[in-house]
Chains A and B, each alone.
Chain A
Amino acid sequence: GQQVMQIPQYQHVQEGEDFTTYCNSSTTLSNIQWYKQRPGGHPVFLIQLVKSGEVKKQKRLTFQFGEAKKNSSLHITATQTTDVGTYFCAGRTGGSYIPTFGRGTSLIVHP
């Protein structure tokens, strides 16, 4: 079955440093979504990428979808303590309505 791997599992950074999490699929994806879950909270939808090579930005967050549509990344520039949380990717194959979530990358920002 489809698998979505996310790395790293945890990332500690000093406030102001950059952060990147990577998502890799064993199969070609039709789209990929990214979610953020604050400690004790629920996942909140951030963005969806559909096109090969697509890059989207939301303020300090940059999302990329690979050319082969098998990988994606989320990059945060100059992290802030408000960025703390777990970032999940969720990939969907063309024939399925069901996105598969990665295990998430937990970001810890030290002030």
Chain B
Amino acid sequence: EAGVAQSPRYKIIEKRQSVAFWCNPISGHATLYWYQQILGQGPKLLIQFQNNGVVDDSQLPKDRFSAERLKGVDSTLKIQPAKLEDSAVYLCASSLEGTGVNYGYTFGSGTRLTVV
């Protein structure tokens, strides 16, 4: 099966600019996640979607980050305006997860963002 697709792979922007990342999950995976992984740390969840609805966005810095999954398939994550501390790898993951059932996540290759 095809994996989780993410683009772009790399992005360098200046602080205060905006940037968007795209993710296409594995076909049939209802649950989609965006994670932020800062160098040397474990992934930190930013937002979780179940189909096109938000399940949890408690750790998303909503003053600058936004995400959407309009048709319950692919998703975009946007940062506007970017700060230096947003430099990280942004990972998208998907799973078959449903209520009361936990599955492992399949991660995409990530987008490495550098804010200068």
Contact = CB atoms under 8 A, between A and B. Distances in A.
Interface in A60-108: 88, 90, 92, 97-99, 101-104
A43 B102 contact: no
A6 B41 CA distance: 11
A45 B109 contact: no
Interface residues of A, number: 23
Interface of B: 40-45, 48, 55-56, 91, 97, 102-110
A42 interface: yes
Contact of B106 (A30, A45, A88): A45
Nearest to B44: A101
A92 B42 contact: no
Interface string A31-48: 101010000011111111
Most chain B CB within 10 A, of A30, A43, A88, A90, is at A43
Contacts, number: 48
A43 B41 contact: no
Contact of A42 (B41, B91, B102, B104): B91
Given A101-B43, A102-B42, A43 B56 contact: no
Nearest to B89: A42
Contacts of B103: 48
B102 A92 contact: yes
A46 B105 CA distance: 10
Given A97-B48, A97-B55, A97-B97, A45 B42 contact: no
A33 B104 contact: yes
Contacts of A42: 91, 107-110
Nearest to A34: B104
Nearest to B103: A48
Contact of B104 (A30, A48, A102): A48
Contacts of B91: 42-43
Contacts of A90: 42
